[in-house]
Amino acid sequence: MSGKNTVLKTFALADTKKGIISVSHLEEPYGTGSFPVVSIGISLKGDSSSPDWKAHIPYENLDELIESLQAAKEQFGDK
């Protein structure tokens, strides 16, 4: 059971007609007392409330995730 979901940003998913990526703050993602996470959702139909895929990232892992994404962009992003 998920708690309160606050959408922080949505933006177009490249190379799709209606796809979007949404970034949200999700309270109690795994029930009462569970720690909040950043939720990254991808919707091919453009519906941020019902993503086709999602990943929950604990706030403690954000710096490492950002570093990894930046490394991927630097190595492969301009190809």
What is the model's pLDDT at position 2?
A: 67
Compute the distance between CA of residue 35 and CA of residue 56 in angstroms, rounded to an integer: 11
What is the model's pLDDT at position 79?
A: 62
What is the model's pLDDT at position 3?
A: 82
What is the model's pLDDT at position 59?
A: 98
Q: Where are the alpha helices (DSSP H) in the chain?
A: 62-76
The pTM assigned to this predicted structure is: 0.88
Is 57 buried (19+), middle (13-18) or exposed (0-12) by CB count in 10 A? Answer: middle
The edge-to-edge listing of strands for the beta sheet with 53-58 is 5-12, 20-26, 37-43, 53-58
What is the model's pLDDT at position 30?
A: 92
What is the model's pLDDT at position 36?
A: 97
pLDDT, averaged in runs of 10, over the chain (79 residues): 86 96 96 96 93 96 97 88
